[in-house]
């Protein structure tokens, strides 16, 4: 004689198995409700641009969804009299809210890696101050060289600044942390980080030198900033040096970011992507796309700068030809200064009418043979500026000043010391 069987024809599940199944179903429902809350916050931020409105709306949506789920569960229960949908719904909302807050929305405790530089002078600009460092030349014969770091949001390392000091033979070298980066101020409204803002700040640094003309060296993103400034003010630029330049900054075309992950090994990619998709990192990244100012309400500069430093360190080996990375990482990376210009690219840039003026500036372009930015990007600069010189540095990656510092500095020094043609 056989015992009772379930509807599928097998023996009925034991009480322990039924309890485990109920727990799994409840956990899945809580997870789905958590994702609904997070998605609702992002959508409501993009629609209303108010953090409290987004939170209240997301919680209301999750309450309504929980009540519907609870009623559906009661309708399917064998002993529905013992089920209380409102209590069930309250339990769902409470647990999913705790999960969404804990994993996605609760601020982390992080200390940004910023070392105050007492050598720097403070240059006041709109909304804050720039940290400016000057390496003095022993003999002053030529216009100063203003150097721009890359990223956006990634200052020069100490090793890169030491390499640049090798150019201080007959001219001062002026190095500054762009706004939102390094020892410079963070903007109270992150949406203001842009190519336009970076070009205007470069103009302020050039004006502060007190010289009618300067030479400008731009690295990576800094090359794009320097190019736009030179196109707008060719009369203020004696020479232009573009190192590992990003894609040419045409007006009306959003700047395309490079893809450093394309040069990472499979284990390096797995580690980098694993950091990027951490719930908190992913939530803030998506929120920046919806509204940078509200994103900062959810996640402070201090927290996100520290998280950005961790993410940068994971992908940074891609900037070297041997994929081993630096021994000393840059200090003071700026998350919002990095992400906002990339996720909200403006349409500022070089116009066709400005090309003749840009072509009149003596220009040196350097690109490493292992650079993750394609060769076509450097060729575009050379084509726009027919008188420019393009140098392909062998066995060097994107980080030219560290991968091939002596060779690069010697090439730049020779270029800068060549007299300009009248």
Averaged pLDDT, 127-146 = 91
Do 170 and 205 belong together in one domain? Answer: yes
pLDDT value, residue 71: 77
- Inform me whether the pLDDT recorded for 58 exceeds 60: yes
Q: How high is the pLDDT of residue 250?
A: 94
- The residues, any chain, with a CB within 8 Å of residue 27's CB and separated by 6 or more, are none
Return d(Cα 7, Cα 19) in angstroms, integer.
18
Tell me, yes or no, whether 189 and 326 share the same domain. yes
Last residue of a domain, one of 105, 129, 159: 105
Residue 1 has pLDDT above 50, yes or no: no
Statement to judge: residues 252 and 374 lie in one domain: yes
Whether residue 81 sits in one domain with residue 48: yes
Predicted pLDDT at 141: 80
Examine the domain organization and report whether 52 and 183 are in the same domain.
no
Query: pLDDT tens, 336-395?
Result: 999 999 999 888 999 999 999 998 999 999 999 999 999 999 999 999 998 899 999 999
Q: Mean pLDDT across the stretch 226-254?
A: 95
pLDDT at res. 124:
95
* Domain extent at residue 66: 15-105
Q: Poorest-confidence range of 72-76, 164-168, 225-229, 311-315?
A: 72-76
- Of residues 139 and 45, the one with the higher pLDDT is 45
Cα→Cα distances 235→52, 62, 153, 226, 361, Å: 50, 60, 28, 14, 9
Looking at every residue in the chain, the average pLDDT score rounds to 88
pLDDT in tens, 165-195: 999 999 999 999 999 999 999 999 999 999 9
Q: Would you place residue 118 in the very low, low, confident or very high pLDDT band (cuts 50, 70, 90)? A: low
pLDDT score of 9 more than 70 = no
What was the pLDDT predicted at 111? 64
| Domain shared by 187 and 308, yes or no | yes
For residue 53, pLDDT beyond 50? yes
What pLDDT is attached to residue 394? 93
**Same-domain pairing of 274 and 408:** yes
Question: Looking at residues 241-248, what average pLDDT do you find?
Answer: 96
Look at the chain and report how many structural domains it folds into.
2
Instruction: Specify if 39 maps to a domain.
Output: yes
Identify whether 173 is part of a domain.
Answer: yes
63, 151: one domain: no
| Structure confidence by residue, pLDDT tens digits, 392-408 | 999 999 999 999 999 99
Assigned domain for 110 exists: no
Distance CA 50, CA 245 (A): 37
Strands (DSSP E) along 224-286, which ranges?
Answer: 237-243
Model confidence band, residue 110 (pLDDT cutoffs 50, 70, 90): low
Q: Who has greater pLDDT, 72 or 321?
A: 321
- What are the residues facing 250 on neighbouring strands? 350
Same domain, 212 and 352: yes
- The answer to whether residues 127 and 100 belong to one domain is no
CA distance 249 to 223: 9
Same domain? For 164 and 52 the reply is no
Confidence of residue 117 (pLDDT cuts 50, 70, 90): low
User: Predicted confidence band at 422 (pLDDT cuts at 50, 70, 90)?
Assistant: very low
- Give the model's pLDDT for residue 401: 95
Output phi, psi for 177, to 5 deg.
-85, 125
Please state the φ and ψ torsions of residue 390, each to the nearest 5 degrees.
Answer: -110, 125
Q: Is residue 165 part of a domain?
A: yes
Residue 80 shares a structural domain with residue 222:
no
Which domain-ending residue is among 54, 77, 105? 105
What is the Cα 126 distance to its own chain's centre? 22
Select the highest-mean-pLDDT range: 96-110, 325-339, 394-408: 394-408
Residues whose CB is less than 8 angstroms from the CB of residue 6 and which lie 6 or more positions away in sequence, other chains included:
12, 13
Of 43, 76, 105, which one is at a domain's C-terminal end? 105
In a domain, 269, yes or no: yes
For residue 6, being part of any structural domain is answered with no
Cβ proximity of 378 and 365 under 8 Å: yes
Q: Does residue 160 form part of some domain? A: yes
Q: Is the pLDDT of residue 10 over 70?
A: no
Q: Which residue has the higher pLDDT, 84 or 208?
A: 208
- Tell whether the model's pLDDT for residue 222 goes beyond 80: yes
> Cα 64 from chain centroid?
37
Is the model's pLDDT at 155 over the cut of 60? yes
Amino acid 304: pLDDT: 94
200, part of any domain: yes
CATH code, 231: 3.40.50.1820
């Amino acid at each position: 004689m056989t015992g009772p069987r379930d509807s599928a024809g097998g023996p009925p599940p034991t009480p322990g198995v039924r309890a485990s199944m109920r727990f799994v179903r409840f956990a899945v429902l809580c997870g789905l409700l958590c994702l609904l809350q997070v998605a609702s916050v992002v959508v409501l931020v993009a629609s209303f641009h108010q953090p409290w409105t987004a939170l209240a709306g997301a919680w209301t949506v999750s309450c309504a969804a929980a009540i519907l789920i609870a009623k559906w569960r009661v309708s399917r229960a064998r002993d529905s009299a013992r089920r209380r949908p409102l209590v069930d719904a309250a339990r769902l909302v409470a647990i999913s809210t705790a999960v969404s807050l804990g994993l996605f929305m609760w601020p982390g405790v992080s200390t940004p890696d910023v070392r105050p530089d007492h050598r720097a002078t403070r240059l006041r600009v709109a909304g804050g101050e720039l940290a400016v460092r000057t390496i003095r030349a022993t003999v002053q014969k030529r216009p100063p060289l203003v150097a721009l770091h890359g990223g956006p949001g990634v200052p020069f390392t100490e090793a890169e600044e030491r390499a640049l000091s090798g150019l201080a033979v007959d001219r001062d070298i002026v190095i500054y942390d762009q706004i939102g980066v390094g020892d410079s101020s963070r903007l109270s409204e992150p949406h203001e980080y842009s190519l336009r803002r970076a070009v205007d700040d470069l103009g302020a640094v050039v004006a502060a030198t007190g010289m009618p003309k300067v030479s400008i060296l731009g690295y990576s993103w800094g090359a794009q900033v320097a190019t736009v400034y030179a196109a707008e003010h060719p009369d203020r630029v004696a020479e232009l040096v573009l190192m590992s330049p990003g894609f040419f900054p045409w007006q009306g075309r959003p700047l395309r970011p490079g893809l450093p992950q394309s040069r990472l090994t499979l284990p390096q990619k797995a580690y980098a992507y694993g950091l990027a998709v951490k719930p908190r990192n992913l939530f803030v990244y998506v929120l920046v796309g919806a509204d940078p100012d509200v994103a900062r309400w959810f996640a402070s500069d201090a927290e996100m700068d520290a998280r950005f430093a961790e993410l940068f360190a994971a992908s940074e080996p891609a900037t070297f030809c041997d994929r081993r990375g630096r021994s000393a990482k840059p200090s003071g990376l700026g998350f919002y200064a990095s992400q906002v210009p990339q996720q909200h690219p403006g349409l500022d840039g070089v116009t066709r009418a400005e090309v003749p003026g840009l072509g009149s500036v003596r220009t040196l372009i350097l690109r490493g043979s292992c650079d993750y930015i394609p060769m076509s990007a450097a060729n575009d600069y050379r084509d726009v500026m027919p008188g420019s010189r393009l140098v392909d540095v062998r066995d060097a990656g994107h980080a030219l000043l560290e991968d091939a510092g002596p060779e690069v500095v010697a090439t730049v020094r020779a270029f800068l010391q060549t007299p300009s043609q009248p």
